[in-house]
């Protein structure tokens, strides 16, 4: 249990290995490992193989935990969300059953939509949907361009959103295999945060904080010297040019407008890309507003 906070309050982030439905506060994230290939285990020298938690998965989970601590520290320093705790848990291994794939190609290389549907079905079967949780699947699929770096899709994209009779739980995927093989551990950490926070960033709240309704524009890309750009989580995979090797190996497929970023110093002449898990002030404010709305039990769109 880690205590954090500012002058106004003390918050706590609790990590648990339990997998039970918990009727608690709105800041609840459960992280699930997916199967790792033999090649993936060789990369980690089989560290964590018995628990199915390789170092990259563990670092991704820790990065998510740190991001939630940042949000609560920001809120409590402003006398907001006082008393709220964040709950981060390890879930059990989630396998992709061949019977769930409608086509043979889907069994080998499922789309993001299929992956999310199967993941949410597994959560429902395990009876772990709480109505206010984010469920993050860490998958190892470095060659699956259909999943890309990961993502989330409606109707289970936003925590607390009741769309077409959904539970209010959100499910999202971070393709750790892709970031580890094609990029780096800092990108792995940032994309795990990125995909988690997407579920706490409805478009109307994003638009009330920034210059657009696109959550990626809450991010920052800051020059630390004339040829180095430091990228925050929500801008990761979106801060560079739309081309191979534009920061991350692959460019994100979602919305983006560098002119609308919380801060973007431009990428002309940039030779080095670095990544920070520190959230931008715009991201912190937007997530805080979402949590305030959830705390008041107001529906999200």
Q: What is the pLDDT at residue 17? A: 46
Q: What is the pLDDT at residue 25? A: 61
Stretch 48-72: mean pLDDT, rounded? 97
Stretch 211-237: mean pLDDT, rounded? 97
**Confidence category of residue 246, pLDDT binned at 50, 70, 90:** confident
By three-state DSSP, how is residue 90 classified? strand
Average pLDDT of every residue of the chain: 88
Q: Does domain 2-209 have CATH number 3.40.390?
A: yes
**Confidence category of residue 211, pLDDT binned at 50, 70, 90:** confident
Kindly report, residue by residue over 62-78, the tens digit of the pLDDT.
999 999 999 999 999 99
Q: What is the pLDDT at residue 300? A: 72
Contacts of 127 (CB under 8 A, 6+ apart): 21
- Residue ranges per structural domain of the chain: 2-209
- Regarding pTM above 0.85, the answer is yes
**Confidence category of residue 243, pLDDT binned at 50, 70, 90:** confident
**How far is it, in rounded angstroms, from Cα 79 to Cα 10?**
10
Kindly report, residue by residue over 145-193, the tens digit of the pLDDT.
999 999 999 999 999 887 665 678 999 999 999 999 999 999 999 999 9
Angle at alpha carbon of residue 184, lines to 182 and 188, rounded to 5°: 100
Residue 217 CB burial class (10 angstroms; 0-12, 13-18, ≥19) = buried
Per the model's pLDDT, the better-predicted residue between 243 and 19 turns out to be 243
**Confidence category of residue 98, pLDDT binned at 50, 70, 90:** low
Q: What is the pLDDT at residue 75? A: 97
């Amino acid at each position: 249990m880690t205590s954090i906070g500012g002058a106004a309050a003390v918050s706590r982030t609790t990590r648990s290995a339990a997998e039970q439905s918990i009727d608690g506060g709105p800041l609840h994230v459960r992280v699930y490992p997916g199967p790792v290939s033999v090649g993936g285990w060789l990369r980690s020298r089989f560290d964590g193989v018995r628990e199915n938690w390789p170092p990259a998965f563990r670092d991704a989970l820790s990065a998510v935990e740190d991001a939630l601590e940042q949000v609560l520290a920001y809120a409590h320093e402003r006398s907001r969300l006082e008393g709220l705790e964040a709950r981060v848990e390890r879930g059990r291994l989630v396998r992709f059953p061949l019977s769930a794939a409608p086509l043979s190609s889907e069994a080998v290389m499922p789309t993001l939509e299929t992956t999310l549907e199967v993941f949410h079905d597994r959560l429902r079967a395990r009876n772990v949907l709480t109505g206010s949780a984010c469920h993050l699947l860490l998958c190892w699929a470095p060659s699956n361009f259909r999943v890309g770096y990961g993502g989330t899709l409606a109707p289970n994209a936003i925590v607390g959103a009741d769309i077409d009779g959904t539970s209010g739980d959100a499910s999202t995927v971070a393709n750790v295999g892709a970031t580890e093989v094609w990029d780096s551990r800092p990108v792995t950490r940032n994309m795990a945060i990125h995909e988690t926070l997407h579920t706490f960033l409805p478009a109307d709240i994003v638009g009330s904080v920034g210059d657009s309704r696109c959550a990626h524009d809450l991010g920052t890309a800051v020059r630390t010297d004339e040829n180095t750009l430091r990228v925050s989580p929500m801008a990761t995979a979106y801060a560079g040019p739309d081309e191979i090797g534009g920061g991350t190996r692959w460019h994100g497929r979602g919305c983006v407008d560098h002119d609308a970023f919380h801060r973007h110093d431009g990428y002309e002449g940039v030779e080095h890309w670095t990544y920070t898990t520190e959230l931008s002030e715009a991201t912190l404010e937007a997530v805080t507003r979402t949590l305030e709305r959830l705390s008041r039990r107001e529906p999200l769109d």
